[in-house]
Chain A
Amino acid sequence: MLRRLLDWADEFPPGRVPLLLLVLALASGTAVAVRQVRSAPPRFSVWTFVHLAGEEFQQRLAADPAHADVEVRNLGTAMFDRLALAVMTRTELPNLVEIEQSVIGRYLRGPVEHIPFVDLTERLEREGWFERCVPARFARYTVGGRTFGLPHDLHPMVLVYRPDVLAELGYRPEDLATWDDWCAAARRFYRPGALGTRTWRRGMPLSTIEGYTYLALLWQRGGDMFDATGEVTLDSPLAVDTLERYLAMLGGDPPAAGPALSSMIEDFAALSRGQFLGLLAADWMLAVMQKDGRTLLEGRVQIMPLPAWERGGRRTTTVGGTALCIPKDAGPPDRAWEIAKLLYFDHRSLVERFRTQSIVPLLRASWTDPVFDEPAPFFQNQRIGRVLTELADEVPPVHGSPYMAEGYKLLDAVFADVTAGRVTPRAALAGVAAELRARMARDRAAVARARAGSAP
């Protein structure tokens, strides 16, 4: 038998060895293919891009045998592109996916009926989640009046300051109720000097090259890049005036603010040296500060509500956020909805999230937990949880739009020119708004053509 096989192989024109290689290639290829088929995908998959969230989800689900078949995957920021491809090809979609607020718009394009996520509006209304949470936070994930994401976080923004430096200047935190008050204190605090030296002093760092701090302050004032109907409002008089006041802080004589440094660590170091009077920080940044700025700032800083734009006005704003979305084509959404609520609204998880990441939950009922009254040694035993939750209802809405990421990028693209005085705030914002409107108009025309069933 073997002899016949060898004879047969000898007859193979290129020879016995190439035949062996061919057989091996075919056999290994078949083995790989069979293995792929046998290793069936998990019955239920959850994707996230945050390492800490991935671990937390895994622990929470592992505690419940009913969810033994759920696989949590942390894909890092590459997850967003992978999700985009999965949505395009309708393959390998997760059952539940955690998405960052600034990029969610890319999945919300086109007619509402084609949005690849399950519309959660009715479930949220039916189960009373809009009332049980801070409703403003849902705006970011709402397009055309329909909500496609379940958020868990508030991310109120506060001012981190050194009480000793403020006292030396003759101020108490309650004296700084408005930005005008703040600017007056910051101007007294000011010392000239070039970057890179230890002599300069500025009120606080404001970005001169990116628009996110400006947008946060615009939200605090009630403005936004888009309105609730999705139309562009970045060139509104309020937006222009806020940018002018932002520039006045940076460029007054003396200035009330200075350019943000190259990294958060440099900002922390400058605050620790008494070169900044304060820093703007959302709740999650307080955790970053406690981790990365421990040696610089531990036991030396406190937080206070932001000064308002007008006396008695809103004392906070917001930066950042994530939501859980349910891809439409990944199967029946009911179980995904239940797991989403478990992961995002489970009381123990919310408390743990505040303890480890300083994230203030959206769910009102959770704010009564004692964890929010615990003194924080890093912040001179201040009860920072209570300061943050007391600001919760003031967190402004940020309206969602499929064009949000593009809007941020277009604003960033002109921001350095605005702060350098090469273009006026009015012209810059009008330019960004016009570009956004042009892109929206082109897309709307395409949708209209598609609906009419005609090509150009």
Chain B
Amino acid sequence: MKRPWRGAPAAAPWCFLAPFLALFATFTLYPLAYSVYLALRQSVGPGVDLYVGGDNFARLLRDEVFWGALGRTAYFAAGSILGQLPLALGLALLVNQRRLWLRGLWRTTLFLPVLVGAAFIAVGFRLIFGVQDGVLNQLLGRFGVPALDWLRDPDVVLNTLVLTGVWMFTGFNMVYFLAGLQGIPGELYEAAAIDGAGPWQRFRAVTLPGIWPIAAFLITASTIGSFGLFDLPWVLTDRGGPGRASTTVMVYLYERGFLAGDIGYAAAMGWLVTLVLLIIALVQLRVTRARAD
């Protein structure tokens, strides 16, 4: 009998991989390669496009606004990690308690903020952070705290973004920690209790090592997410204001690439941020591996 698929075994994997490879090449490899091409060029309107070599990168290294934006983004990332992760772990420990009343409702409620778009959150939070009639200042005023200009004081506004980020993403991180906590075998706690370990010792010796891989992942994911921060400062603080006080690196990239039309410069900025993130991720990986070992 003639075998219709003769020769197919060797080609079959490629047949199945072909759709993915085609999509990957079109939507990932090509844009990446094209952004490298753009980073080496200068365009002036749609009609002028020149090769400028590494000029965009050289200008970027001298651009104080870029480094300022990078610093603020790093501040937001650090603030988010330090604010969100301990709180998320605490909440996860709380909603992991079997005896907690309405446990499912708490879990859902805490997770909800991440489902709301950042732009909607920003609009809602304007009512909370208003200097004159904002809910937060009204509340603080009852305790004699003077009104803060949460959205327009350059010394305060970045912390306002961190606070909003904590509100948005703590519940999301809590779910990861909850999954980690539920993956720790109960026998370990029992054995520790038999050995006379108290609650704090059980937390240190059993819980923390058990959730460490999750924490390491969340630190890396939060860092990468923070460097992509765009919509919150764009809407909540009027495109990264006041002045440059909440201009993150993505806000600046958008400003240069799309408002100013300097696409080559924006592409170079994107690659430099990628490099910075890569270095941070490698350092984090080394630290977390060393700790795991």
Contacts and interface: CB of A to CB of B under 8 A. Distances in A.
Interface of A: 8, 11-14, 18, 22, 25, 80-81, 84, 87-88, 90, 103, 106-111, 113-116, 194-197, 208-210, 259, 261-263, 265-266, 269-270, 402-403, 405-406, 409, 412-417, 439, 442-443, 446-447, 449-450, 455-456
A88 B46 contact: yes
A442 B42 CA distance: 10
B259 A12 contact: no
A394 to B, nearest CB: 29
Contact of B261 (A106, A115, A195, A266): A106
Contact of B242 (A116, A209, A270): A209
Given A106-B259, A114-B46, 11 more contacts: A14-B16, A88-B46, A114-B48, A115-B45, A194-B146, A209-B152, A210-B242, A259-B152, A262-B131, A450-B44, A455-B50
B260 A416 contact: no
A263 B147 contact: no
Contacts of A210: 238, 241-242
A14 B19 CA distance: 17
A261 B65 CA distance: 27
Interface string B1-19: 0011100110010011001
Interface in B119-141: 126, 129-134, 137, 141
Nearest to A451: B48
Contacts of B260: 106, 403, 405-406, 439
B3 A11 contact: yes
Contact of B131 (A11, A266, A405, A449): A266
A13 B48 contact: no
A22 B259 contact: no
Nearest to B152: A209
Contacts of B53: 456
A80 B261 CA distance: 12
* Interface hub of A90, A409, A447 (most chain B Cβ within 10 A): A409
Contacts of A14: 12, 16
Given A81-B258, A109-B261, A195 B132 contact: yes
B52 interface: yes
For the residues of B in contact with A, the DSSP-based class is loop
B46 A409 contact: no
A266 B133 CA distance: 6
B113 to A, nearest CB: 21
Contacts of A413: 65, 243-244, 247
Interface of B: 3-5, 8-9, 12, 15-16, 19, 42, 44-53, 55, 65, 126, 129-134, 137, 141, 146-147, 149-152, 154, 238-239, 241-245, 247, 255, 258-261, 263
A11 B243 contact: no
A19 to B, nearest CB: 9
Contacts of B16: 14, 18, 22
A80 B53 CA distance: 29
Contacts of B146: 194, 196
A262 B134 contact: yes
A412 B238 CA distance: 10
A447 B5 CA distance: 59
B215 to A, nearest CB: 36
Contact of B126 (A80, A108, A115, A263): A263
A443 B50 contact: no
A336 to B, nearest CB: 19
A443 B129 CA distance: 41
Given A109-B44, A450-B50, A196 B137 contact: yes
14 contacts: A13-B5, A14-B16, A25-B19, A109-B261, A209-B152, A261-B131, A262-B134, A406-B259, A409-B239, A417-B243, A450-B49, A455-B50, A455-B51, A456-B52
Contact of B259 (A87, A103, A446): A103
B15 A209 contact: no
Given A106-B258, A417-B243, A196 B9 contact: no
Nearest to A14: B12
A12 B45 contact: no
Q: Which of B133, B151, B244 has the most CB of A within 10 A?
A: B133
Nearest to A260: B152
B261 A84 contact: yes
Contacts of A22: 15-16
Contacts of B133: 261, 265-266, 269
B243 A110 contact: no
Contacts of A194: 146-147
A439 B259 CA distance: 13
Contacts of A111: 45, 47-48
Contacts of B137: 196
B44 A110 contact: yes
B5 to A, nearest CB: 5
Contacts of B42: 442, 446
A88 B43 CA distance: 10
